[in-house]
Amino acid sequence: MTSYLIGIDNGSQSTKVTIFDEHGTPICEGKQPLRPNSTPKPGIVEHPDDDLWDSIGEASRRAMKSFSGDIHDIVGVGLCTIRFCRALLRADGTLAGPVMSWMDSRVSRPYEHVDDAVRYVTTSSGYISHRMTGEFKDTASNYQGMWPINTDRWEWLADDEGFSECGIPREMLFDLVMPGELLGQVTAAASEHTRIPAGLPVFATGNDKAVEALGSGLRTPETLLVSLGTYIASMALGERNLKDARSFWTNFACIPRQYLYESTGIRRGMWTVSWWRDVLGESVKQAAAARQISPEEYLNEQASKVPAGSDGLMVVLDWLAPTEAPFRKGSILGFDGRQGPYHIYRAIIEGIALTICRCGTEMGAETRQAYDRLIISGGGSNSDLIMQIFADTFGLPAVRARVNNSVGLASAICAAVGSGIYDSFDAAAQAMVAWQPPFTPDPARHELYQKMLSVYSDIRGQTDPLFERSYAIFD
């Protein structure tokens, strides 16, 4: 008998529900886009109505409808949702207001109790866990930031002072469980909403970046993971809870008692790649359609013809300014008439690789950890061009997972551990995660990119004063 596991990936853009077999092979999937965030006033960013739960229901129903196996062979559900969100619940677990996005300014401030209807303060994973199981339990791995959490012990603080600083009394918080532990069973109401069988055990995962790391195969400190998403950063595993780092921050991993070091990164990272694709517009779409390939494949094909270094173009990816430097803007430098639209496309990708190489190198220097391999995850890893540019920039072999659904796969891994199919996370990951052949760095291109990096790292120091002056004019 083959056992099957359901992995729920409730992401920032869409919800994907995938059914995997015990070897990590995806059997079927359902997907539902999330609605645009509601921004009624500055600083307020909310998921409208009950969109998170609604999208999980729709994606789950599609996945279950596509499943051709015996539902009695499905042994568990792993649940992962967007991190850094805040949900305010009534006593019965229903929403007292829309779920606050990670971009909402309120989630970085202490909770203010202004609505007497609010009985619980939790994360998006806590809210969805309750909707699935009826239990008031949540994964400990999704509590970083403005929460009274002891990050050494993975449990609520023992003293009252920490609760006061966060504005949340202990009685308003859920009970915590570790990744791979039982949250509860699918209720009859949740089963009707999702078509997932009632009574099926639901297991905790972690915050979405930690889950992505597990599903990408990040298992040793010597490997660096690059996550290509709207926010791009590099990540590495560690055993120590490092609290005063300068170039990275420490997060909970999706494996109990391990930590995930996350470098500084790029806001609107792969968004910038999509932005340039959209700027090029119909010409790229038509050319791609004529070749019967996607616009992304066409752009990668054309950019592959551009020499490394993009004939001198360098892109600084500040399309979304950080809060500490609101004046900062993105820039493209080095035009001399040789360059065309595909030079810019390649230069954007090279700018991403150069930035993350700098960030990852700084993190490795601070943790005194050398890296011997890259794992690239996210939709951008489908591009051979992007994979090769990262290998060449870092001077390290770069691999991508066989299954490009790392969050869903890791959710299934947590369910596989919790249900006893595997006796450890390491055994489950070894059995369920596989990689495609590596991309090997080219020494000449690596030398070029390292020379570029010495210049690239100084650009902001030159442009910041100019952008600060222009900020008063245009903003």
| Domains, the chain, ordered by start | 4-209 (3.30.420.40), 218-400+442-475 (3.30.420.40)
The one-letter amino acid at 411: S
State mean pLDDT over 141-149.
94
Q: Which two tokens stand for residue 56?
A: 């999980």
Provide the pLDDT for residue 230: 83
- pLDDT tens profile 402-443: 998 999 999 999 999 999 999 999 999 999 999 999 999 999
Question: How much is the pLDDT for 81?
Answer: 96
Could you give the 3-state DSSP secondary structure of residue 140? helix
Cα–Cα distance for residue pair 181/154, rounded to 1 Å:
14
What does the DSSP 8-state code read for residue 326?
Answer: T
Q: How far apart are CA 175 and CA 333, in angstroms?
A: 52
Q: How does residue 323 score in pLDDT terms, banded at 50, 70 and 90?
A: confident
pLDDT for the residue 428: 97
Please give the average per-residue pLDDT across 32-57, as a whole number. Answer: 95
pLDDT reported for residue 160? 79
* Cα–Cα distance measured from residue 181 to residue 434, given in angstroms and rounded to the nearest whole number: 24
Identify the pLDDT of residue 366.
95
Cα 289 to Cα 295: distance, rounded to the nearest angstrom: 8
Percent of the chain with pLDDT over 70: 100
Average pLDDT of the residues of the chain: 95
**Helix intervals (H) in 236-383:** 269-280, 282-291, 295-303, 341-367
Question: Is the pLDDT confidence value at 369 over 90?
Answer: yes
Kindly report the backbone phi and psi dihedral angles of residue 301, in degrees, each rounded to the nearest multiple of 5, phi listed first: -65, -45
Read off the pLDDT of each residue in 61-90 and give the average, rounded to a whole number. 97
Lowest mean pLDDT among 131-135, 159-163, 431-435: 159-163
Q: Could you tell me the CA-to-CA distances from 336 to 310, 312, 343, 462, 466 in Å, in that order? A: 11, 8, 12, 20, 21
pLDDT at 313: 97
Check the CA dihedral 114-119-124-127 and report its sign.
Answer: negative
Instruction: State yes or no: pLDDT of 137 exceeds 80.
Output: yes
**Do residues 163 and 157 touch, judged by C-beta distance below 8 A?**
yes
Q: What is the pLDDT of residues 7-43, one digit of tens each?
A: 999 988 899 999 999 999 999 999 999 999 999 998 8
CA angle at residue 282 from 280 to 286, to 5 degrees? 120
The pLDDT of residue 162 is 83
Q: Give pLDDT tens digits for 221-260.
A: 999 999 998 889 999 999 999 999 999 999 999 999 999 9
